[in-house]
Amino acid sequence: MSGKILITGGAGFIGSRISARFIKEGYQVHILDNLVTGNEKNIAPEAVFHKMDLGDPALDALFAAEKFDFVCHHAAQIDVRKSVEVPAYDATVNILGSLNLLENCRKYNIKKLVYASTGGAVYGEPKYLPCDENHPIKPLCPYGITKHTVEHYIELYHMLYGLQYTILRYPNVYGHFQNPYGEAGVNAIFIGMMIRGITPTIFGSGEQTRDFVFVDDVVEGNWLALHSDKNDIFNLGWGIPISVNLIYNLLRKITGYDHDAIYAPERAGEVDKIYLCADKIKKELGWVPKVDFEQGLTITTEWFKKYPDWYKKPQR
């Protein structure tokens, strides 16, 4: 299978790696991104770039002109803390923007939609671990609410209009091309600071845990999802809890940075401990993560050392 695919958020960290894979596989790749958090350097020269907001009414004309076969939807406001501070903005981007996209998928008969949701934020503080897809949904932040709301809309569009879809609930994704100056992505932030000789801050005790999956494994999950006939929701994840303190200590070894972390009070809206069960996607789609955590951190660190100026340092 090949064809023309629109990747929303394709100038971002994960979307850009997905676009590179589909280009390699012979797809015609179009990228939609407003570059609020995306980086134009991430866009492959083989891709067609459309600088546009997800909620722009002009999206209709783009769909009409390009006649996309597939959509991989990664454009979003992803910062948990910003969602708490400005929930209306979070909802505008993640819910209303996604609705605009879904309406065009319906109107122009998209063959398949893959949606990047979140396993780290929709389940809330776990009732049991690891969290599988049947775990109760109880987000602790607006970001988790908006991402889950779009899942419901996608399922509804499937029931009403026959839209074919796969929803992927992500763990914490990390790797090369992640923004070390961003507000999300603890690994990239820590690496970026350590290689510049700056001591990172850990919020809370540092014993809070997450499930981390390397970006190349997430790309493979998207590839398998697009080529599946499953209209369903799948977790991605290793099912292994990784603490922030462990991350810090591993990165001290990898980067050679020899200073203790600074500790500060924990922040609102963040889950304490979570990791995901990915048995369902392993069984039904054959997805298996391949890059272990320390290996992934090493690859990411080497990339940041090689490309220290890939992302511009924000002006304060």
The CATH number of the domain holding residue 187 is: 3.90.25.10
CA atoms within 13 A on the CB side of 232: 13
- Indicate if 116 and 255 belong to the same structural domain: no
Region 229-234: what's the mean pLDDT? 97
**Listed range (5-19, 129-143, 182-196, 242-256) with the worst mean pLDDT:** 182-196
pLDDT of the residue at 316: 47
Dihedral sign for Cα 297, 298, 299, 300, please: positive
Mean pLDDT over 103-126 rounds to 97
Looking at the fold, whether 15 and 113 belong to one and the same domain comes out as yes
- Tell me what the mean pLDDT of segment 12-16 comes to: 97
The one catalytic residue among 143, 170, 248, 311 = 143
Are 124 and 271 in contact, with CB atoms under 8 Å apart?
A: yes
pLDDT of residue 56: 98
The alpha carbon dihedral of 46, 50, 51, 55 has a sign of negative
Task: Indicate if 162 and 15 belong to the same structural domain.
Answer: yes
Mean pLDDT value across residues 94-104: 98
pLDDT, residue 78, reads 86
Give the model's confidence band at 292: pLDDT under 50 very low, under 70 low, under 90 confident, else very high.
Answer: very high
Asked whether residue 105 carries a pLDDT value surpassing 70, the answer given is yes
Which residues are paired to 172 by β-bridges? Answer: 212
Domain that holds residue 128: 4-173+212-235
Q: Residue 80: pLDDT band by 50, 70, 90 thresholds? A: confident
End-to-end CA separation in angstroms for the chain:
47
User: What's this model's pTM, rounded to 2 decimal places?
Assistant: 0.96
Say whether both 57 and 123 belong to one domain: yes
Portion of the chain with pLDDT greater than 90, in percent: 91
CA distance 168 to 173: 12
* Residue 283, in any domain of the structure: no
**What's the CATH code of the domain at 134?**
3.40.50.720
Instruction: State whether 39 and 78 are in the same domain.
Output: yes
Please state the domain count of the chain: 2
Task: Based on the fold, state whether residues 10 and 103 are members of the same structural domain.
Answer: yes
pLDDT at 182: 80
Predicted local confidence at residue 314, as pLDDT: 67
**Cα distances (Å, whole numbers) of residue 106 to 3, 65, 165, 271:** 18, 15, 12, 35
Contact 7, 18 (CB under 8 A): yes
Counting residues of the chain whose pLDDT is more than 70, the rounded percentage is 98
Annotation says 143 is catalytic: yes
